[in-house]
Structure 1
Amino acid sequence: MTVSTAIARLNAADPDFARHLDHLLSWESVSDDAVNQRVLDIIKAVRERGDAALVEFTQRFDGVDAQSINDLILGRERLELALTRITPAQREALEKAANRVRVYHERQKQDSWQYTEADGTVLGQKVTPLDRAGLYVPGGKASYPSSVLMNAIPAKVAGVAEVVMVVPTPRGEINELVLAAACIAGVDRVFTVGGAQAVAALAYGTDSVPQVDKIVGPGNIYVATAKRHVFGQVGIDMIAGPSEILVVCDGQTDPDWIAMDLFSQAEHDEDAQAILVSPDAAFLDRVAASIDKLLPTMERAEIIEKSVNGRGALIQVRDMQQAIEVANRIAPEHLELSVADPQAWLPHIRHAGAIFMGRHTSEALGDYCAGPNHVLPTSGTARFSSPLGVYDFQKRSSIIFCSEQGASELGHTASILARGESLTAHARSAEYRILTQDKGN
Structure 2
Amino acid sequence: MMSTIDLRGRVLGVRELRHLLPRAEFDVATAVETVRPLCEDVRHRGAEALYDLGERFDGVRPTRLRVPAEVLVAALDTLAPDVRAALEESIRRARIVHEDQRRTTTTTTVAEGGTVSERWVPVDRVGLYVPGGRAVYPSSVVMNVVPAQIAEVGSLAVASPPQRENTGVFAGYPHPTVLAACALLGVDEVYAVGGAQAVAAFAYGFTDGEGEDAMVAEPVNLVTGPGNVYVTAAKRLLKGLIGIDSEAGTTEIAVLADDSADPVHVAADLISQAEHDPYAASVLVTDSPALAEAVAAAVERRVPATKHAERVRTALTGPQSGVVLVDDLERGLDVVNAYAAEHLEIQTRDAAAVAARVRNAGAVFVGAYSPVSLGDYIAGSNHVLPTGGCACHSSGLSVQSFLRGIHVVDYNRAALQEVAHHVVTLSQAEDLPAHGEAVTARFDAS
* TM-score with structure 2 setting the length: 0.91
Does structure 1 conserve the Cα–Cα contact (< 8 Å) formed by 2:22 and 2:321?
A: no
Q: Secondary structure at the match of 1:400?
A: strand
Q: Which string of whole-angstrom CA distances, capped at 9 and with x for unpartnered residues, describes residues 387-413 of structure 1?
A: 110000000111101111011122221
Q: Following TM superposition, where does structure 1 have runs of at least 4 consecutive aligned residues deviating by more than 4 angstroms?
A: 14-21
The CA deviation at 1:292 is 1.1
2:132 aligned with 1:139: yes
The CA deviation at 1:164 is 0.4
The CA deviation at 1:357 is 0.6
- CA distance in 2 between counterparts of 1:151 and 1:234 reads 17
Q: Which string of whole-angstrom CA distances, capped at 9 and with x for unpartnered residues, describes residues 348-397 of structure 1?
A: 21111111011111111000000111111111111101111000000011
- CA distance in 2 between counterparts of 1:361 and 1:275 reads 17
Does structure 1 conserve the Cα–Cα contact (< 8 Å) formed by 2:29 and 2:233?
A: no
Residue matched to 1:25: 22
Residue matched to 1:187: 187
Does structure 1 conserve the Cα–Cα contact (< 8 Å) formed by 2:284 and 2:322?
A: yes
Q: Which string of whole-angstrom CA distances, capped at 9 and with x for unpartnered residues, describes residues 157-185 of structure 1?
A: 10002110111114236411111111223
- CA distance in 2 between counterparts of 1:329 and 1:229 reads 28
The correspondence for 2:261, drawn from 243, 249, 253, is 253
Structure 2: where are the runs of 5+ without partners? 165-171, 208-215
The CA deviation at 1:249 is 1.3
2:234 aligned with 1:226: yes
- CA distance in 1 between counterparts of 2:221 and 2:188 reads 15
The CA deviation at 1:36 is 3.2
Residue matched to 1:439: none
- CA distance in 2 between counterparts of 1:325 and 1:20 reads 9
- CA distance in 2 between counterparts of 1:295 and 1:356 reads 23
Task: Answer with 321-330 or 398-407: which moved more.
Answer: 321-330
Letter in 2 for 1:84: D
The correspondence for 2:407, drawn from 398, 409, 413, is 398
- CA distance in 1 between counterparts of 2:240 and 2:162 reads 28
Residue matched to 2:291: 283
Does structure 1 conserve the Cα–Cα contact (< 8 Å) formed by 2:118 and 2:405?
A: yes
The correspondence for 1:313, drawn from 312, 317, 322, is 322
Does structure 1 conserve the Cα–Cα contact (< 8 Å) formed by 2:141 and 2:178?
A: yes
Distance 1:328 1:81, change over 3 A: same
Aligned pairs for 1:37-436 (under 5 A) are 37-66=33-62, 71-139=64-132, 142-171=135-164, 172=172, 174-207=174-207, 208-310=216-318, 311-434=320-443
Q: Secondary structure at the match of 1:252?
A: coil
Aligned pairs for 1:4-23 (under 5 A) are 5=1, 7-13=2-8, 22-23=19-20
Q: Secondary structure at the match of 2:206?
A: coil
Does structure 1 conserve the Cα–Cα contact (< 8 Å) formed by 2:24 and 2:281?
A: no
- CA distance in 2 between counterparts of 1:279 and 1:306 reads 26
Letter in 2 for 1:113: T
The CA deviation at 1:414 is 0.9
Does structure 1 conserve the Cα–Cα contact (< 8 Å) formed by 2:221 and 2:242?
A: yes
Aligned length in residues = 427
Distance 1:117 1:318, change over 3 A: closer
Does structure 1 conserve the Cα–Cα contact (< 8 Å) formed by 2:62 and 2:162?
A: no
Q: Secondary structure at the match of 1:348?
A: coil
The CA deviation at 1:66 is 4.6
Identity %: 38
Q: Secondary structure at the match of 1:276?
A: strand
Does structure 2 conserve the Cα–Cα contact (< 8 Å) formed by 1:162 and 1:187?
A: no
The CA deviation at 1:20 is 8.2
Does structure 2 conserve the Cα–Cα contact (< 8 Å) formed by 1:148 and 1:181?
A: yes
Q: Secondary structure at the match of 2:85?
A: helix
- CA distance in 1 between counterparts of 2:136 and 2:65 reads 18
Does structure 2 conserve the Cα–Cα contact (< 8 Å) formed by 1:409 and 1:434?
A: no
- CA distance in 1 between counterparts of 2:230 and 2:359 reads 32
Q: Secondary structure at the match of 2:139?
A: helix
Letter in 2 for 1:112: T
Does structure 1 conserve the Cα–Cα contact (< 8 Å) formed by 2:17 and 2:338?
A: no
Q: Which string of whole-angstrom CA distances, capped at 9 and with x for unpartnered residues, describes residues 233-291 of structure 1?
A: 01001111121111111212221111001101111111111111222211211111111
Does structure 2 conserve the Cα–Cα contact (< 8 Å) formed by 1:333 and 1:377?
A: yes
- CA distance in 1 between counterparts of 2:146 and 2:188 reads 12
Q: Secondary structure at the match of 1:74?
A: coil
Does structure 1 conserve the Cα–Cα contact (< 8 Å) formed by 2:102 and 2:399?
A: yes
Letter in 2 for 1:367: D
Does structure 2 conserve the Cα–Cα contact (< 8 Å) formed by 1:408 and 1:435?
A: no
Letter in 1 for 2:114: T
Structure 1: where are the runs of 5+ without partners? 437-441
The CA deviation at 1:211 is 0.6
Q: Which string of whole-angstrom CA distances, capped at 9 and with x for unpartnered residues, describes residues 82-111 of structure 1?
A: 111111111000000011011100111111
Letter in 2 for 1:413: H
Does structure 2 conserve the Cα–Cα contact (< 8 Å) formed by 1:131 and 1:213?
A: yes
Task: Answer with 8-17 or 269-278: which moved more.
Answer: 8-17
- CA distance in 2 between counterparts of 1:54 and 1:166 reads 12
Distance 1:231 1:370, change over 3 A: same
